[in-house]
Amino acid sequence: MNKLTHTDDYGRANMVDVGHKPPQRRQAKAAGTIFLSSETIELIRKNEIKKGDVFTVAQIAGIQAAKQTSNLIPLCHPLAVDKADVMLQLTEEGVTAQSIVRYAGKTGVEMEALTAVTTALLTVYDMCKAVDKDMRIGEIRLIEKVKEDVQ
């Protein structure tokens, strides 16, 4: 089994030293879903949620979260993200969110992509909680992680 990278020889938390690694172009995609009642889905479709435009607010929240990931996850490196986007789609079951994050540097951006999706879905929850008490967030996952050498 591989050794955990975020612990030292004594099992204590450790921020990985990436100083020796060459910069690479990196991209990560993540996705997740919030399951909603049919009534809530219809309110979102008609833009009748009292807090406002659910998709716009959730998209902005997700993008902002990607840029703030190192403030939330203690051992993440602070990154100057090159691109972060969140796309939301209304489905028969609720709302799906997908994120894409790009960065050229020494560490991956999968935590930023996952944080973007999670925050976007939590924002949908916050905006709809007055009308739907049975919402459920799930299926959050990393879809893709890519890295290529910088030329």
Secondary structure of the chain in the HEC alphabet? CCCCCCECCCCCECCCCCCCCCCEEEEEEEEEEEECCHHHHHHHHCCCCCCCCHHHHHHHHHHHHHHCHHHHCCCCCCCCCCEEEEEEEECCCEEEEEEEEEEEECCCCHHHHHHHHHHHHHHHHHHHCCCCCCCEEEEEEEEEEEEEECC
Closest residue by Cα to residue 33 from 107, 119, 96: 96
Of the residues 53, 85, 126, 149, only one is catalytic, namely: 126
- Catalytic, 126? Answer yes
> Catalytic positions, please?
126
